[in-house]
Amino acid sequence: MSEALKGKRILLGVSGSIAAIKAPRIAALLKSEGAEVFCAMTESARQFVSADEMSVATETETITAVFAGQPSPGPRIQEAVALSTWHVHLARSADAMLIAPCSASMIGKLRSAIYGDPVALVAASLPRWTPLVLAPAMDEEMWLQPAVQESLAWLRGHGALQIGPVKGRLASGLIGMGRMPEPEDIVREFATLIGNERDLLAGKRVLITGGPTYEPIDAVRFLGNRSSGKMAAALAMAARRMGAEVTLIMGPTAIRTDGLAKRIDIETAEEMLAAVRAKLPNADIVIMNAAVSDFAPEETLTSKMKKRETDGDLLIKLKRTPDILSEIAHAKRAGQIVVGFALEKGEGSEAYARGKLTEKNLDMIVLNDMAESGAGFGHDTNKVTIFTRDGDAKSLPLLSKDACAVEILRHVAQVNKE
């Protein structure tokens, strides 16, 4: 049993997906971890699980409507219960909210500020930094809808956290992406995400780099990589939630971080270096998560290269880009913490990571093993091992990038204390 949920007031939102049949188990697990649970349900959720079942699991009356018959969720908000403003008081008294399952419609409603049901209404009333965790569940085609993906990306860019979905058997009988993880996994990840760390990095200035770099070949072509920036955005979100002030220097990605950090968008390794140098004096912790291109074309054409101007094949001479991490780690001031990432594959990875830790003068290195399924570029999950200067190594299980970010920052906070 983790301590993270003990004594916490958790709002459990249940929306209309067949995965709602797992909601009583989620509520029971949250309770068994010592949390106080209030449940709000949409009308569609009640097609799959009854309000009575949820009331039994939470040991308190379930909220099923925006206006009538609200429960009494504790002395602080007792007077408000009879009022139509119950959602404000309930949301303000909560430590976190979990919407599991979170249907495609719920994602769309939250994105579009359509707060006509009790789940969306209470979620909309959460104070800005109270964690809102979404566990999407739907059929694969719905999951892949651009409107769903775009809405979820927007919500994440404004601080919502996400658990799952995973690939597996869906309600339709098909196998695909969109299945809600099992209640045990959801509650474990939820506990990690909301933890006890609201003040863990209070007042710290954290500088994070993320995404790829694009090194131009000519006016339209570039040398780049597939980094999505998801891990950096998750780190920014977790650091912000732990009380840090976050600056994010990002290569070209589609990821949104609108409300999370001061963001500086760059394209090339040289531009990233300049931005990092400019921000470095004001940083207590530097996390270099960017997949910086190690090489760039020696020359860049200002116009578009024509194939008839080459004779057959094309040779592009590449030059090394500056090793930003190494430069700043060797020049770091006392007390400044520098964290690097290493993307390796299979055997020998650990030795490489440890080697980079010392060679580059880092305080910590996070190893991503590309050989692990679900880890690395583009995925929503990651599997990492964290190495620190004292020789310690901690292997984490496959986690959502959000949970992974929390674990990494916990280690950073620990190094900061030592």
Binding site residues, ligand CTP, CB under 6 A: 209, 269, 288, 290, 292, 294, 321-325, 340-343, 356
CB of 293 to ligand CTP, least distance (A): 7
Give how far Cα 56 sits from Cα of 15, 24, 207, Å. Answer: 18, 8, 46
Residue type, 333: R
CB of 395 to ligand CTP, least distance (A): 19
CB of 403 to ligand CTP, least distance (A): 20
Note the residue count of the chain.
418
3-state secondary structure the chain: CCCCCCCCEEEEEECCCHHHHHHHHHHHHHHHCCCEEEEEECCCHHHCCCHHHHHHHHCCCCECCCCCCCCCCCHHHHHHCCCCCHHHHHHHHCCEEEEEEECHHHHHHHHHCCCCCHHHHHHHCCCCCCCEEEEECCCHHHHCCHHHHHHHHHHHHCCCEECCCEEEECCCCCEEEEECCCHHHHHHHHHHHHCCCCCCCCCCEEEEEECECCEECCCCCEECCCCCCHHHHHHHHHHHHCCCEEEEEECCCCCCCCCCCEEEECCCHHHHHHHHHHHHHHCCEEEECCECCCEEECCCCCCCCCHHHCCCCCCCCEEECCCHHHHHHHCCCCCCEEEEEEEECCCCHHHHHHHHHHHCCCCEEEEEECCCCCCCCCCCEECEEEEECCCCEEECCCEEHHHHHHHHHHHHHHHHHC
CB of 356 to ligand CTP, least distance (A): 5
CB of 123 to ligand CTP, least distance (A): 35
Q: Which two tokens stand for residue 300?
A: 């860049």
Annotated active-site residue in 225, 289, 361, 368: 225
Angle, nearest 10°, between helix axes 23-32 and 51-58?
A: 10
Considering beta carbons, is residue 119 or 286 the nearer one to ligand CTP? 286
CB of 91 to ligand CTP, least distance (A): 38
- Classify burial at 49, counting beta carbons within 10 Å of its beta carbon; exposed 0-12, middle 13-18, buried 19 or more: buried
Strand partners, 167: 177
Strand 337-344 to 364-369 pairing: parallel
Of 282, 157, 265, give the one whose Cα is nearest residue 207. 282
CB of 269 to ligand CTP, least distance (A): 5
Considering beta carbons, is residue 170 or 266 the nearer one to ligand CTP? 266
Considering beta carbons, is residue 41 or 290 the nearer one to ligand CTP? 290
CB of 171 to ligand CTP, least distance (A): 41
Considering beta carbons, is residue 145 or 385 the nearer one to ligand CTP? 385
Considering beta carbons, is residue 140 or 294 the nearer one to ligand CTP? 294
Active site (annotated) includes residue 368: no
Considering beta carbons, is residue 125 or 209 the nearer one to ligand CTP? 209
Q: Beta-carbon neighbour count of residue 330 at 10 Å?
A: 13
Considering beta carbons, is residue 18 or 207 the nearer one to ligand CTP? 207
Considering beta carbons, is residue 64 or 349 the nearer one to ligand CTP? 349
Catalytic residues: 225
